[in-house]
């Protein structure tokens, strides 16, 4: 640790001074901000930190095992892995309105998290990955970030009934500073420079009703897209890229047979602030390769389209 930048040590000292011997809970999402908080707190207070990782069934391919591998296995962080996918899927059944879906996902998250927090009666602090732009946002403008946990002062997030003090060690940092801190703390660059992923996850990337089988198809298509972007060195040239599941069927041919299967849309954007965005002009050869792989490897998808809408008027997500 002798060559860690000064600000890492300062941040560690600050956390130690703030929490003393108290226990701390953190909702770990696998996103950049909560990951950096986990790494920082683990270094600062070790086993006084307990992370709760809620699998809502709407995560990306292998995301749950990656988070457990990284934090629990490699770093030795105490992580409670809650598989709540059935609970989330159950409540989402029959619901197709985007705002209603968001509300359900947020509400269930709070419920699951609270139940876990209740099992840790000694905890005094709730740590959150709030960063400086979130603090500014919560003072005013809506940016589509009606997320479950991360808003400042629990806006739309965890209720005060948890009776925990808020610990927000990143609240003075901008995103690029959070990333630098993550790297300095030893997190892999690939994790620290990952594209943002919305709190409601695949719930807003499966249009209309969320179904388990749709989520499984989407996860596989999305992973192929991201793999190929990385292989072609386009991942870091896009700000966000993902697949969207369209619950419409179209006709195709395969061998001698006719298929009648679902559609996946690919979305890739370039943006500085996510308030406006350009669709990424990916090479046609790359798009062709992704399309071929998805159609050949993901049985149930027989058509792939590319989204060429800018924001505005389209949003980055489809819901």
Q: Kindly list the residues in this chain that would bind ligand XMP in the complex (CB under 6 A).
A: 102, 144-147, 196, 198-200, 240, 274, 311, 315-317
State which residue, 175 or 311, has the beta carbon closest to ligand XMP: 311
- Residue nearest to ligand XMP according to CB distances in the complex: 144
Of residues 227 and 317, the one with the C-beta less far from ligand XMP: 317
33 annotated as ligand-binding? yes
Nearest to 134 by CA among 154, 152, 153, 155: 152
Q: At closest approach, how far in Å is the CB of 15 from ligand XMP?
A: 24
What b/e sequence results for 75-101 when a residue is b if at least 16 CB atoms lie within 10 Å of its CB, and e otherwise? bebebebbebbebbbebbeebeebeeb
CB-based contact 124:163 (threshold 8 Å): no
Quick one: 249 or 311, whose CB is closer to ligand XMP? 311
Q: How far is the CB of 147 from ligand XMP (least distance, A)?
A: 3
Tokens of 216: 């499984």
Q: Which is nearer to ligand XMP, 15 or 226 (CB)?
A: 226
> Between residues 75 and 146, which has the closer beta carbon with respect to ligand XMP?
146
> Is the distance from CB of 264 to CB of 218 less than 8 angstroms?
yes
Q: Is 85 annotated as a binding residue?
A: no
Token reading at 68: 């457990």
* Both tokens assigned to 296: 């050949």
Is 309 annotated as a binding-site member?
no
> Which tokens is 318 given?
């489809």
Separation CA 188–CA 182 (nearest Å)? 8
The response to whether 30 counts as a known ligand-binding position is yes
Distance from C-alpha of 155 to C-alpha of 138, rounded to nearest angstrom: 8
**Is 31 within any annotated ligand binding site?**
yes
Q: How far is the CB of 230 from ligand XMP (least distance, A)?
A: 19
Binding-site annotation: residue ranges for ATP: 29-35
Binding-site residues, in ranges, read: 29-35
């Amino acid at each position: 640790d002798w060559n860690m930048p000064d600000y890492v040590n300062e941040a560690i000292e600050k956390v130690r001074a703030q929490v003393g011997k108290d226990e701390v809970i953190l909702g770990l999402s696998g996103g950049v901000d909560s990951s950096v908080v986990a790494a920082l707190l683990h270094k600062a207070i070790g086993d006084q930190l307990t992370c709760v990782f809620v699998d809502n069934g709407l995560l990306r391919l292998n995301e749950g095992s990656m988070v457990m591998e990284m934090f629990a296995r490699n770093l030795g962080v105490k992580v409670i892995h809650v598989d709540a996918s059935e609970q989330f899927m159950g409540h989402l059944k029959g619901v197709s309105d985007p705002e209603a879906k968001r509300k359900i996902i947020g509400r269930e998250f709070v419920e699951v998290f609270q139940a876990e927090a209740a099992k840790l009666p000694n905890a005094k602090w709730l740590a959150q990955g709030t960063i400086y732009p979130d603090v500014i946002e919560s003072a005013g403008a809506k940016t589509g970030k009606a997320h479950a946990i991360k808003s400042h002062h629990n806006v739309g997030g965890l209720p005060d009934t948890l009776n925990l003090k808020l610990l927000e060690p990143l609240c003075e940092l901008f995103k690029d500073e959070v990333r630098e801190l993550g790297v300095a703390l030893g997190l892999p660059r690939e994790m620290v420079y990952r594209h943002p992923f919305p709190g409601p996850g695949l719930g807003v990337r499966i249009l209309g009703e969320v179904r388990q089988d749709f989520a499984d198809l989407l996860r596989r298509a999305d992973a192929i897209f991201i793999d190929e972007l990385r292989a072609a060195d386009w991942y870091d040239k896009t700000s966000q890229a993902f697949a969207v599941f369209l619950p419409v069927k179209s006709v195709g041919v395969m061998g001698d047979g006719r298929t009648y299967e679902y559609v996946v849309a690919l979305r890739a954007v370039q943006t500085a602030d996510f308030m406006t965005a350009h669709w990424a002009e990916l090479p046609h050869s790359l798009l062709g390769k992704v399309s071929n792989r998805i159609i050949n490897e993901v049985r149930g998808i027989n058509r792939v389209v590319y989204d060429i809408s800018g924001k505005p008027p389209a949003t980055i997500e489809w819901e």
